[in-house]
Amino acid sequence: MKVFFLLIFWFLWFLNFSSRAIISPLLPVIEDEFTLSHAQAGSLFSFVSAGYTTALFLAGSLSPRIGYKRTITVGFVIVITSLFSLKYTTTYLSMTISVLFLGIGAGIYMPSVIPLITSTFRRENWGKVLSIHSMAAPFGFFFVPILTAFALRIIHWKTIFPILGGACLMAIIFFWVFAVDPNPQDDRRVALLNVIRRREFWIITVLWTFASASALGIYSVIPLFLVKERNLSMDLANTVFGISRIGGFCVPVLAGLFVDRFGVKRILFLVFIVTGLSTIGLALAKTFPLLVAMLLLQGAVYSSFFPVGQVVISRFTSLRERSAFIGGTMATAGIFGVGLTPLILGAIADAWNFQSGILVLGILTCLSCLSLAFLQIETEG
């Protein structure tokens, strides 16, 4: 039965992630149809992030009070409404409003689902379970560009949004019927201020910021980078980009399994060094095979951070404060890692090129692992 619940959580996270990720492979079409600059196109992700960040903060504090199951359902209702409204957007302004609410609905999910998962499964299985759950994101990274490239051959790009909204509707109905919500009565008071005063909060936030920047931040502009600067066709760019995410299926699971054996800090150090170097390589790659190789390596490694980061947070928080810690960390990191990164990379591209921005991001990602020296985990292996 627990495996059945894990499958439900996995599918919800896949759809939640895909509802935000779908903007990226459609960005060249959106940019051309609405006659946007690179910076304006990148700003769409800033609006998604603004809504996402706001919802993370609110959900982290409110979900223990109103119930994790009810909170997730409300979030998906907002996501579904936003996806259907995107079909009817006709201006840049109307699209920004729709993606803002899309971010709000999507941001409600994670602070609620992590306490649900960790209260359902035993502590010694958290690494494996959270890694499997996190696989939904790289699965989305892989399939969203490929399915989008296929869909654009047969339907109008705006029709993709209600199709995804319909899938979300079916999934949340299934979740509401079968999922079990733990009693939230003992988790009413969430000490958010006490959480953000902890040193561990800010260390994890720094790491989460650069992991997010190397994940969704890069993901958001890579199709534009491949089409506009590497002169690939849109179809080829989305196909290559989607295939390059395939390594994210297995590497996060391996990272989750190795956490207890080799220690959190060793795994995180390796993840950030390889992610940073592969991002640098992506910017400097001069040939198509090397470009694909760097995309494959970067896509395989960076996603390992998120399940490991969730395990770290779950280890030094109680169930009472876990939602607030997850929400606060992801919200703060989302502002800079997900929200500002596409906008900054787009502005740099308008002034110079995408290559320069991606190169700087790779260097900063390598340097971010220095913060691990200040992270102390009592259960380190």
The pLDDT, as a whole number, for residue 297 is 87
pLDDT at 104 over 90: yes
The pLDDT, as a whole number, for residue 381 is 42
Cβ-Cβ contacts under 8 Å for 142 (sequence gap 6 or more): 242, 243, 245, 246, 248, 249
Q: For all residues of the chain together, what is the average pLDDT? A: 82
pLDDT at 378 over 80: no
Cβ-Cβ contacts under 8 Å for 71 (sequence gap 6 or more): 59, 62, 63, 108, 112
Closest CA to 114 of 356, 340, 315: 315
pLDDT at 190 over 70: no
Distance CA 148, CA 151 (A): 5
pLDDT at 321 over 60: yes
Mean pLDDT, rounded, for 9-34 = 87
Mean pLDDT, rounded, for 343-350 = 83
pLDDT digits over 117-147, tens only?
Answer: 877 777 777 777 887 888 887 778 778 877 8
pLDDT at 183 over 80: no
Q: What does the longest C-alpha to C-alpha distance in the chain come to?
A: 58
Among 112-121, 202-211, 288-297, which stretch is predicted with the lowest mean pLDDT? 112-121
The pLDDT, as a whole number, for residue 189 is 56
pLDDT digits over 232-255, tens only?
Answer: 877 787 777 777 777 666 777 777
The pLDDT, as a whole number, for residue 6 is 81
Distance CA 373, CA 330 (A): 21
pLDDT band, very low/low/confident/very high, at 187 (cuts 50, 70, 90) = very low
pLDDT at 367 over 80: yes
Distance CA 304, CA 135 (A): 9
Surface-to-core class of residue 88, CB atoms within 10 Å of its CB (0-12 exposed, 13-18 middle, 19+ buried): exposed
pTM above 0.95, yes or no: no
Backbone angles phi, psi at 13, to 5 degrees: -65, -35
Distance CA 126, CA 145 (A): 30
Residue with tokens 């900054």: 344
pLDDT digits over 66-87, tens only?
Answer: 788 888 999 999 999 999 999 9
Distance CA 106, CA 191 (A): 23
Put residue 34 in one of left, alpha, beta given phi > 0 → left and psi -120 to 50 → alpha. alpha
Q: Which amino acid is at 41?
A: A
CA distances from 42 to 28, 176, 307 (A): 11, 35, 27
Distance CA 259, CA 311 (A): 9
DSSP string, 195-217: HHTSHHHHHHHHHHHHHHIIIII
The pLDDT, as a whole number, for residue 179 is 73
Mean pLDDT, rounded, for 146-157 = 87
Distance CA 163, CA 241 (A): 22
The pLDDT, as a whole number, for residue 380 is 47
Cβ-Cβ contacts under 8 Å for 19 (sequence gap 6 or more): 79, 82, 83, 102, 105, 106, 164, 168
Distance CA 275, CA 108 (A): 28
CA distances from 114 to 12, 69, 310 (A): 13, 12, 8
The pLDDT, as a whole number, for residue 377 is 61
The pLDDT, as a whole number, for residue 25 is 83
The pLDDT, as a whole number, for residue 82 is 94
pLDDT at 188 over 70: no
The pLDDT, as a whole number, for residue 285 is 84
Which tokens in the block code for residue 351?
């002034």
| Structural domains of the chain, with CATH | 2-374 (1.20.1250.20)
